[in-house]
Amino acid sequence: MPHDHDHDHNHDVPHSHEGMSSSGHPYRADQDQPLTYWQNMEIAMRELLIEKGVTTELEVMHTIDQMDSRSPADGAKVVARAWCDPDFRARLMADASEASREMGFDIGALKLIAVENTADIHNVIVCTLCSCYPRNLLGFPPDWYKQRAYRARVVKTPRAVLREFGLELPDDVTVRVHDSTADMRYIVIPARPQGTENLDETALAALVSRDSMIGVARAASPE
């Protein structure tokens, strides 16, 4: 599906009355530069919705706080549940969006797809055209995920890129690269480390890193 624009917009923008540049465009108090077209559009739409009584300033702030509070710890809980509960794992692989909602994580209208690492297959995710990312479960993407070098190279030479992250895969392991889109995101379910049979979900979740759910690392081994 085509990407019309960068999906990593900054939602934390002030009202247009906070300042004006010499060119007549509003600017943020903490930045000496004009707002972008999309930031101006967000301001206009937000203020119109508030003026019409559709929402309020407090509701907007609460929503932003909720978005900012998302972190890889949420995705790690989903992975740990899948490791411990075969029935949940089956539901996750069939419909990751619904399975995540089952755990209380709002995926919105996105189609989330879970891909599972095994002894024979290793998965890695990317967005080749911009920076689409499963923020609802993993929070903000790392800077390298958005860089053109990663986006282009991981598709062409995934083993070389993974090696740069310190992940050396055997030659007989198939590497699959999954390209995210504006309405479809992926989460990697890393292989469960050995020696974790007696760990509970909380302890297991602590072994799951953001990078392992992107696919550029393995889950950590227990100490």
- Catalytically active residues are 127, 130-132
CA dist., res. 167 & res. 141, Å (int): 19
Residues in the chain: 223
Per-residue burial over 136-164, b = 16 or more CB atoms within 10 Å of its CB, e = otherwise: bbbbbbbeebbeeebbeebeeebbebbee
Q: How would you classify the pairing of strands 184-189 and 121-126? A: unpaired
Beta carbons within 8 Å of 202's beta carbon, 6+ residues apart: 80
Taking a C-beta distance cutoff of 8 angstroms, is the pair 109, 183 a contact?
yes
The structure tokens listed for 199 are: 């760990």
DSSP string, 163-199: HHTT----TTSEEEEEE--SSEEEEEEPPPPTT-TT-
